[in-house]
Structure 1
Amino acid sequence: MLRMPLLPHTAVGAVARSGTGIDPRDRADAERYLAALTADERIREALAISSPSLDRALRGLLDGAPMKPAAVRKLVLGVTRYVLRAAARPTPFGLLAGIAPVSFADGCRIRVGDAHRAAVRPDSGWLLGLVRPWESEPALLRKLRVVAHDLGFRRGSRWVLPVSPAPDESDASASRTEEVSVRLTGPVRLVLERARRPLPAGELAALLAEAYPTAGSAVVERLIADLVRQGFLLTELRPPLTRTDPLRHVHDVLVSVAEWEKADTLARVAKLLDGLAAEPVGAGAARWHTAADWLRALHRHDRPLQVDLRMDTEVTLPAAVLREAERAAAALWRTAPKDDPVPHLTEYHTAFVERYGIGRAVALLDVLDPHTGLGTPAGYDRPGERGTQGGATGADPARDRVLAELALTALADGQREIVLDEATLDRLSRTVPQPAPNAAELCVQLTAESREAVAQDEFGLVVSQTTGSTAPGALLGRFAYLLDDGELIARLAREGAASAARPGAEPVHLDFQPLTGGAANVARVPSYWAGRLAIGCFPDTAPGACLEAVGGTSPGISAGAPVRNARDIALAADDERLYAVDVATGRELVPQSATVLNFVLAPAAVRLLRELPAMGRPLWAAWSWGALGSTAPHLPRVRYGRTVLAAAHWKLSDPALTDARTGDEEWGRALDAWRARWKVPRQVSVGVLDRRVVLDLEAPLHRALLRRELAGGADPVAYETPEECGPGENWLRDTRGDAYRGELVLPVFPARPLAPEPASSDTVRPAASLDTVRPAASLDAVRPTASADAVRPAESADTVRPAEFGDARSVLASTTGTLPATGSADAPTPPLPGATSPSPVAGPTPLPATGAPVLLRSGQEDGRRHRAWFYGKLHTVPARQDEVLVEHLPRLLAALPDGGGRWFFIRYAAPEPHLRLRFHGDPGLLWSRLAPVILDWADDLYEQRLAGRLVVDRYEPETVRYGGPGSLDAAERFFHHDSLTVLEQLGPLASGAVTAPPPVLAAAHYVDLVRQVHGEQWPEWFLRIPRDEQHQPYAHTHRSEVLGLLADDTALAPAARADRARALGAFPAASQRTVLASLLHMHHNRLAGIQRTAERRSLALARAVAEAERGDVRRQR
């Protein structure tokens, strides 16, 4: 797809010249300047659509309305900025910029005409405002189908909706932080229970009237209308986001319920909008004013029209452009930092695993409940309320050092750009192999002297730093209804989703109502998936809401497709990510929506579901300067081949420029000095993110615009323009010879070789064309790539890899990657060899035989079981933990009154180091007699400065991780005896009676436990673990010590081990092998702590012992 502005980029210079010598506060100057600037009717039309308030002020000025000098100046600068946007910014918006298809073939063919076509729809905020009062009219409401809002839940005596109804306008702040609630009376309860599935409101009223015969029909209908008005009930009248003609949806529903007058009104609106679209762009702004006024008479709204622009442009480019974009995308992937794309979800994943464990699916609404679950991730509702919003993004000091060297060398040598070669790419590349990146959409601006130059392979590319997407179809989807080949877009979106999904996962279209009505304008896209996940919106498609597919064979959403809501969704975790599952089947769901809507404008549940697919795999991203990007006042251009990966930029943070008290003349001198010092070119693109405008820093009005930008407080940045970066922007010319700025949107996919090949980067390639359907096989038809980061064949289910991050993570990592940074001894552990996991979703812990995560709602599996456990978190630093366990815990155990039972401990590191102590007993005795003893013991440790506070918490066991409810009792008894074994082991360690280091002791206990489960086949279990080369020297040095301990095991706490062996044997046979990996991990936690190096050494040692054992057996044979 090509994105291009309405006006040629040469208009920037023309605007600068036309504003020379005028005083923006002088009315006469302003009138002459603005009349000339907006003489083109296309500009007047664009203003009328995009900024009605600015358009009204302009008309008032030109018609002689009184206006203060400050208002005149504001108007002059505002109109100037809009015209500059229409000349230089290709992001589509109203009539200011539009789109066109682009194809790739031999040669270069360009045609830019004037017959641009406007696609006109009612603004979604206007339509919502029109529909909302209709929904509450009794005569209409009783004929409409309604359904209970699926995000509602009970809190005490009230029914709560964690999001308020969307306002008409774009202020979403109140909606993000507000909730609405209603007293859960009998009638309200009846309504909500019966409306779990859609039914006519009249039928619901009849049920109420039957249940409460004295209430009267007026009271009943008022109750239902109030519930609709407050959002507790949703009606079918509101158009789903998948309906690209929302006006038609409302009209069809009205027709289906015989509301002829309202349907006729909407039919007249549709005819009016069709008439606007039929006329050429530039036919006159008066028609837009008339149409907008007519719509405002129906419902007051500042911008009642939503317009997209299909440019009268045909572009065919040579395939060499695609090849260069491939190389650029691959280079960006190779040099990308090790940032976490969703750090707030990484933190949330840690909290989820700590609370619920691995393999357990928890109902979405239970997780999001702030009282009984986790609440929403940091920053969703009230930034900073829970955790640190955004969290750490993962520092990459080695990469930062290379970048600093490159930037400072260029500046010292007076060079404007850094040219990357293969050696430099290798220095910037990741040192740890990563899976292939996600598919994405790459935005590049093509630079060339002429169309002929492009055809002759004389061109450059400039990668956009602020546009692009992490999913093919996200930028294209909004304009699918304007492009010629919606089926290709559908295929790209489905291929992108499939490339990121785990085997067996089902992509589903995520439908919802944004927090603001206007946000639906950019979120309204077709569905490319058969399944629909409807959150906070009407959940089915009949009769008037038939959702459209795109293209002849795209599945879209049909009336027979599965439609799920929030209550059908649960969350589960593996070692590196959270994911959504279907409550009924346990199948993983991958929520998708081909839109670049900022999901801050969506309900928290929707935002969470939409962000989940970004976890557990790296995301393709534009160039990052790392730590330099936020601090350096200037950074040079970065070029690779013919592509500028990053344009040069300058931070506008000089105090002389940002001081609002500085006079205009002094400020102008400061600007000139700043430009001279940093060699800033005359034309720069200034703004924040994608909201930029090209300014001529020698034009007085443009300088005034720059100062206004600086006064906005948003820290704008100045970037060099594409013309400055390359050979020019003269290839996209119209018949008059005027040149336009064009931005290409190219879907890129990671190459997927059949086997890994040695080298350094993934090849990433764009789809060939957006108006020519290629065979599906061509999505992977690229030249072979040698890539250390390429996608590798999946390892076997019983393969174990060492973890790489975090002292508290298990080193028994799964095939899906490393374990989460929980800092937790309770962190999940994967299956070791011999454990099988039938789950269709890769995860670190074997799941039950159903092959799906087990759904257990909060507290459901335990009932009141937690009351039989005292759970205390004793805060003590790691250096004192062994002392507490060896010297002081036995004193507590001896002092416990009769009635106590099993107990166990765990070391933990997050959020602060502590010991988790859990005591089981009769609830009546546990809290009346045992708890005071524990509290006295903790107080004594505090007095001795051996421990800090003791925090009492609710015990929620990781039921699924340890084999399910039927194995939980056996697991807890094993924990008890393993804790006793460790205590018996720590004493001799502390006294020096046993000199073997903890990894050696742990390895001996691993062998002991695995031997109990697997008998003579125990070596095979260890030998299926990949050899840890880093720790082989340690393993071979200490292997004889482990063998000695196993031969004469008096140093291995034989009495306690015997009891532990009986506890292990008490596990159900089906669970014994699948939980073994977790049991070994927790044994290491208790014996040696949570240091990853020690755990990796212990595992390497156990494997070395298995090698020795297997070698002896073979020699004996």
Structure 2
Amino acid sequence: MSITKINVVKEKEVKQSSFEVLNNFMVRSPLLSLDFFHKQLSNPQLNNLNLDDTLLFFKNIVENNKEIKEAIAVSSMSLLQSIQQITPDSKLKNKRNVVKGIFRYLNRISTRTTPFGLSASVGMGRFSTCNTSENYASLKKYVQVDMEWATNLIKLLESDLSIVRQLKVKLNQGIMINGSRVKLNYSTDSVNDKQGEQNYVSTSINYNEVVEQVFEHSKEDIQFDDLLHKIYSTHSDVDIEIIERFIYELVKQEFLVTELRCSNEDTDTLKHILGILSEKNNIHVIGAELHDIYMNIKEYESATLGEGLSLYMDITEKMKQIVQVKNPLKVDLISLNNDYYIEETRRKDIEEIVELLCKFTAWNGNISNNDLKEYHSRFLGKYGLDREVPILELLDKELGLGAPNGYQYPPQNEGNIEQSFGLGHVDRVFLDKITECYLTNEMELSITDQDIETLKSQVVEKIALPDSLDVYFFRNVGNDKQYEFILGPNPYSTGAGTTLGRFINYLNDSDREFWREIAKKEQELHPNSILAEVLPTPINNRNLNVCQIGERRSHQINITNNLHTRNNINLNDIVIGATHESLFIKSLSMGKEIIPLASHMLNPSLCPNIYRFLIEIGQQKTGNNYPYIFSNITNLGISFIPRITYKKFVLAPARWNIKTYSFKECKNEEEFYKHFKVFREKFNIPKLVFLVHFDNRILLDLENKIHLNDLFKETKKIKDNSCISLEESLYTESTDINHSQDCKEFVFSLVNRKKSIIKDDENIEFSKKLPIISDKERMEYPFENWIFVKLYCVNDRQEEMLGQYLYQFIKENNWYENFFFMRFKDPEFHIRIRFKANTEILIHEGLPIIIKWINTLKELGIINRVTFDTYDPEIERYGGVIAMEKAEKIFYLDSLISLELIRKKRFENFSVSKDILAFINVNHYMKFFKSDLTKQIEWLDKRIEYKEFLKEFRENRDEYLNYFKKFVVEDTSLLTVDESQLINLLIIRENALAEYVEYIKLLEQQGILYSNIDNILDSLIHLHLNRLIGINREYETKVLTLYRHAVHNFNFQYTI
């Protein structure tokens, strides 16, 4: 086998990895060994058997092995029943289906490590100075009721009013009140499956006096009967039965939740339900049955593997008689007393490869949540900086933005564009090397320590490595010992310990403590924030099975709220805000940033929007450069991808893709054997491969007809523009008769040693506990106090529009108290103008004049569209309600100055350049906020890279410093006529600026300033440059940077 190597310079010194591999790791093993696969499923005798003999061969394996039989029953009772019922006289199709079913299931339980019922076990291992790989596991079953069954059981119990009367109830925190209606964010009945299609149905009711009283009394848990009598005491004129039915209806619609509903942190759901029922006087008629089922479950749990089949079938039958679901029990297999040890020296190797793969991702262009990025932009467009919006209001389509594009519960697809993901730099480098391998018939692409620099596109100064993660590796048990570890096909999960989460309650105390210590390490990376566990309510209740975790973090966010929470952060306490870079989550009551996380592997897209939104923002805060996994390349469907390796690691096994047309002409299995033999020889495909289609993987022996038959059937299912893949297996048949060959997957948990570069937002004063400003205080509807008009202007005529037509309009009219303008894109360019006056003047005087002026602009071809809108001022951004009024006065005066300067530049050949105008206006704002030049530099250094634009500054240094002397030192003897006019213009806003700065400093001292003064200065300068220059963030950065250079240079010459 020849190898392609990429050559670059070796690093001179070895640095400590950014990651620490923790001492404990998870070990996942199939129920049976690889020897079973080689001896039974890969048995050469199968090539000589007809269908009936093959059926008998496989059926005997199942019938003669009680462990296999029980494992099949737990995973697929229908398959076991088919096996028991099938005979040689059965239909040909049925016999083939049973053979395929047994073959695939036996294949799974001997080759796949993914936990599923009894097909694979979970255990723990540790790093040690020794290596023991021949421990024989003691396996134990752990059994719980399936969460779909449990949820339906709770609904069944809640359908009995006599039971509900004795229960405690509590207000579901996922409610949203909007005027006379109250909407429920999510209920277990929100999604209906009809003919395979999911329909989302929202629940809302009238918000009247009685509903308000019920909600008020049930903010904390309360007995149903106590709540009933509290409402009756204020409405005694209404029959108490009517009030009871009304409150009961709120329970059925889940506006109120009962104490039967348990937390995801509860370790035994049926025990919880039985405990609640036993506390009540009248136990439900099925209470005794449930108790018997619980005791039977405990008996089955203690039964030796292979000895519990009849008991399992008896239990599930009883459970289905109460609540009908497909699989009423959840069974997991845990490996006990089996500490699998790996040499301590391997930790450093794992740390190195994981960090390298994460850097590959950074060099390739990062993992980016584009929908969330687009949502962040929309948030800034609607709310701006410093405004914090209640999360339920924000995600409501009618009141806020709704959810990000692509969210499904409820659906949010407005403007959702199919995103194309192009190849990044690392993708392209590997693709080039893969092409070379293909052309030169090389089977392996090896990356060495001298190669890594080749893969860097450019220096990435800040790589946002994850706070923590789990990474999956297989230990190579084949004969080729050159490689020790093989990276898993789905090689990581976000957050260390998340893979372990669903099994943690089955493990011993030390392993549970290890799991909790990971969370403490994560919290240490964010000392100023609270890492909170989000407890989900998935759309499919069966998915709750992967969410049953133990207590792990100091705080939790429960989406629907129940009566069994601890340190819960209520949804009505959560607000969303934004910096220029990202969204953030804050608790109003605690005055702290919240970083929501999950300790399990439930896909957030399978949950209500609010859960997904919380989790995805949390993931943004904890690093996004997870390990590179070659998926962009494998998804291209290239005919052949060589094995890709680094040191002792196989990063991607060799892969061959079979297309729609590859075996299209093969009409039967015999023809396929012949054509595939040629195909295999042509591409040098080994004997053992995994058949891969999306997440499905099955090990095949390409020299065995049973396996080839399976492959042939799969080739017939390939859809156009799709493919299936054959991926090399490094498993080989053991030649050591004394050594049992086991397939094991290791899940290593890694935590970042260094403080994340995605720092907690230090510039945001989370500790402030200021009240949310209501829409009533905020919104200015048309003609109440303001007219807000958007003039969609031809882009290349905007200076003409402002410097001539708006300037002239302002000069000729005085009916308004003040006005201001700004430039905007949404995405079309337009000019936003707001006029303030009392309602009578706005309607009877202002509006007719504006309409006449608009018609003139339309005839001149200056504008092509006009809209009138509601004025939603950025009150928080400028300090508060009163501070906003003072800020609007500055906007007014600044607009007058800007229009005058635009007119002078366009029509009067004004001698002061655009750059200098921007430069001087920045200084004018600066001196009112920060008269000390050193403070100015400190402020600027937080916003710009001070090494930028040095060449341009040096080329014009004398000019900048000359203007600095004129306008900072105020040496008026050096002023030209135009410069004197500029100074006179700046004087216009000085009193308003001084008054505003004094006022917001007073608010700051009192702790009631909604923003911070540095950010307010930033906003005022940004808005001024928007008016004067236009929409150009890069130019703003340039102006601030040049000004910073001038301040730095000037500070050595003058003391102000």
TM-score by length of 2: 0.87
Question: Which residue of 385, 388, 411 corresponds with 1:361?
Answer: 388
Q: Distance in 2 between matches of 1:671 and 1:397?
A: 34
Alignment of 1:918-997 (within 5 A): 918-938=834-854, 940-991=856-907, 993-994=909-910, 997=913
Q: Deviations over 1:30-77 (max 9, x none)?
A: 355433356422222122111222222222225x8x854334333332
CA contact (8 A) 2:883 2:999 kept: no
**1:386 aligns with one of 414, 429, 442:** 414
1:908 partnered with 2:824: yes
RMSD value, Cα: 3.4
Residues of 2 paired with 1:666 and 1:293: CA distance? 46
Matched, 1:641 2:641: no
Instruction: Letter of the 1:1041 partner, please give it.
Output: E
Corresponding residue for 1:723? 730
Tell whether the 8 Å contact from 2:793 to 2:830 is kept in structure 1 after alignment. Answer: yes
Q: Distance in 1 between the 2:195 and 2:262 partners?
A: 20
Distance 1:739 1:370, change over 3 A: same
Q: Distance in 1 between matches of 2:299 and 2:269?
A: 17
Task: For 1:1066 and 1:59, locate their aligned partners in 2 and report how far apart those are by CA, in whole Å.
Answer: 89
Q: Which residue of 2 aligns with 1:58?
A: 83
Secondary structure of the equivalent of 1:949? Answer: strand
Q: How does 1:59-98 map to 2 (within 5 A)?
A: 59-61=84-86, 68-98=91-121
Contact 2:815–2:845 (Cα < 8 Å) also in 1: no
CA distance in 1, matches of 2:734, 2:272: 44
Match of 1:602 among 596, 604, 607: 607
2:394 and 2:402 in contact (8 A); partners too = yes
Q: Within 1, Cα distance between the matches of 2:143 and 2:193?
A: 20
Contact 2:144 2:268 (8 Å CA) reproduced: yes
738 and 534 in structure 1: CA distance in 2 versus 1, 3 angstrom threshold: same
For residues 687 and 852 of structure 2, the distance between their equivalents in structure 1, rounded to whole angstroms, comes to 75
Of stretches 34-43 and 101-110 in structure 1, the one that deviates more from structure 2 is: 34-43
CA distance in 2, matches of 1:991, 1:626: 58
The CA deviation at 1:661 is 10
**2:176 counterpart residue number:** 153
2:806 paired residue number:
889
8 Å Cα contact 1:165-1:175 kept in structure 2: no
What is the CA–CA distance in structure 2 between the aligned matches of 1:214 and 1:22, rounded to whole Å?
86
**Equivalent of 1:574 in 562, 572, 579:** 579
Structure 1 position 604, deviation (Å): 1.4
Q: Tell me the CA shift for residue 609 of structure 1.
A: 1.3
Question: What is the alpha-carbon distance in structure 1 between the residues aligned to residue 908 and residue 950 of structure 2?
Answer: 26
The reply to whether residue 116 of structure 1 matches residue 139 of structure 2 is yes
SS at match of 1:481: helix
Q: Is the 8 A contact 1:465 1:622 kept in 2?
A: no
For residues 88-134 of structure 1, the C-alpha deviation after alignment (integer angstroms, 9 at most, x for no partner) is: 21111100111111011112113443642111111111112122111
Kindly report which structure 2 residues correspond to 1:723-762, keeping only aligned pairs within 5 A, or say none.
Answer: 723=730, 737-752=739-754
1:998 match: 914
Distance 1:656 1:169 in 2: 41
| Contact 1:478/1:595 (<8 A) preserved | yes
Q: Mapping of 1:99-114 within 5 angstroms?
A: 99-113=122-136
TM-aligned CA deviation for residue 399 of structure 1: 3.4
Displacement of 1:142 in angstroms is 0.8
**Deviation of 1:860 (Å):** 4.7
1:339 corresponds to 2:366:
yes
Are the structure 2 counterparts of residues 865 and 518 from structure 1 closer, same or farther at C-alpha, using a change threshold of 3 Å? same
What is the one-letter code of the residue matched to 1:720? E
Matched, 1:1029 2:1031: no
| Equivalent pair of 2:407/2:413 in contact (CA under 8 Å) | no
Q: Take 2:957 and 2:694, find their aligned partners in 1: how far apart are those partners?
A: 58
Q: 1:705 to 1:181 in 2, by over 3 A?
A: farther
Alignment match of 2:995 (pick from 1066, 1069, 1072): 1066
Instruction: Find the residue that maps to 2:699 and give its secondary structure.
Output: strand
Write out per-residue CA displacement over residues 798-857 of structure 1, whole angstroms, 9 at most, x where no aligned residue.
Answer: xxxxxxxxxxxxxxxxxx78xxxxxxxxxxxxxxxxxxxxxxx5255x65xx84374525
Q: Are the counterparts in 2 of residues 143 and 257 from structure 1 also a CA contact under 8 Å?
A: yes
Q: Which residue of 2 aligns with 1:762?
A: none
| Structure 1 gap ranges (5+) | 542-560, 753-789, 793-815, 818-840
Shift, 1:706, TM fit: 3.9
Task: Go from structure 1 to structure 2 and tell me whether the alpha carbon gap of 1:18 and 1:977 turns closer, same or farther (over 3 Å shift).
Answer: farther
User: Relative to 1, partners in 2 of residues 1:1101 and 1:188: Cα closer, same or farther, differing over 3 Å?
Assistant: closer
CA contact (8 A) 1:869 1:926 kept: yes
Q: Is the 8 A contact 2:469 2:750 kept in 1?
A: yes
Counterpart residue identity of residue 71, structure 2: A
Q: CA deviation at 1:1045?
A: 4.1
1:571, CA displacement in angstroms? 1.4
1:418 pairs with one of 426, 445, 451: 445
Q: Which amino acid letter does the alignment assign opposite residue 1037 of structure 1?
A: E
Give the Cα–Cα distance (whole angstroms) in 2 for the partners of residues 709 and 156 of structure 1: 57
Q: Structure 1 residue 265 and structure 2 residue 289: aligned?
A: yes
Query: Is 1:476 aligned to 2:483, yes or no?
Result: no
**1:1107 maps to amino acid:** H
* Per-residue deviation, 1:744: 0.6
For the 8 Å contact 1:360–1:853, the answer to whether it is kept is no
Task: Describe the shift of the 1:978–1:173 C-alpha distance in structure 2 as closer, same or farther (beyond 3 A).
Answer: farther
CA contact (8 A) 2:359 2:625 kept: no
Q: 2: distance between equivalents of 1:169 and 1:870?
A: 45
Match of 1:1012 in 2: 928
Q: CA deviation at 1:461?
A: 1.1
Q: 1:372 aligns with which of 399, 402, 410?
A: 399
- Check the 8 A contact 1:511/1:537 in 2, yes or no: no
Cα deviation digits, residues 604-656 of structure 1 (max 9, x gap) = 11221122111245324232447544324143332221112233334444434
Output aligned runs, 1:213-612, within 5 Å.
Answer: 213=236, 215-260=238-283, 262-283=286-307, 285-311=309-335, 313-336=338-361, 337-381=364-408, 385-388=413-416, 397-429=424-456, 431-434=459-462, 435-448=464-477, 460-484=484-508, 485-498=510-523, 501=526, 503-541=527-565, 561-612=566-617
1:471 Cα offset (Å)? 0.5
Q: CA deviation at 1:245?
A: 1.2
> Is the contact between residue 501 and residue 547 of structure 2 (CA under 8 Å) also seen in structure 1?
no
Offset at residue 1031 of structure 1 (A): 0.7
* Alignment-mate amino acid for residue 287 of structure 1: L
Contact 1:470-1:619 at 8 Å conserved across structures: no
Report the secondary structure of 1:1090's partner residue: coil
Can you give the 5+ residue segments of structure 2 that lack an aligned partner in the other structure? 1-25, 967-974, 1002-1012
In structure 2, distance between residues paired with 1:284 and 1:301: 21
What displacement does 1:16 show? 4.2
In structure 1, C-alpha distance between the alignment counterparts of 2:435 and 2:375, rounded to whole Å? 38
Structure 1 letter corresponding to 2:590: T
| Count of residue correspondences | 992
Could you say if the C-alpha distance between residues 908 and 722 of structure 1 is closer, same or farther in structure 2, counting changes exceeding 3 Å? Answer: farther
Structure 2 residue matching 1:74: 3-state secondary structure? helix
Structure 1 window deviating more from structure 2 (954-963 vs 174-183): it is: 174-183
Task: Quote the Cα distance in structure 1 between the aligned partners of 2:562 and 2:41.
Answer: 49
- The letter for the 1-side match of 2:730 is E
Contact 2:191 2:199 in 1 (8 A): no
Aligned partners of 2:268 and 2:575: how far apart in 1? 32
Change (3 A) 1:884 1:647: farther
Quote the Cα distance in structure 2 between the aligned partners of 1:516 and 1:217: 37
Counterpart Cα distance in 2 of 1:637 and 1:909: 49
List per-residue Cα deviations over 1:710-736 (Å, max 9, x = no partner). 637695652534516xxx6979x9x96
* Counterpart contact for 2:69–2:80, Cα < 8 Å: yes
Cα distance between partner residues in 2 of 1:1019 and 1:366: 42
Percent identical pairs in the alignment equals: 23
- Give 1:745's aligned amino acid: V
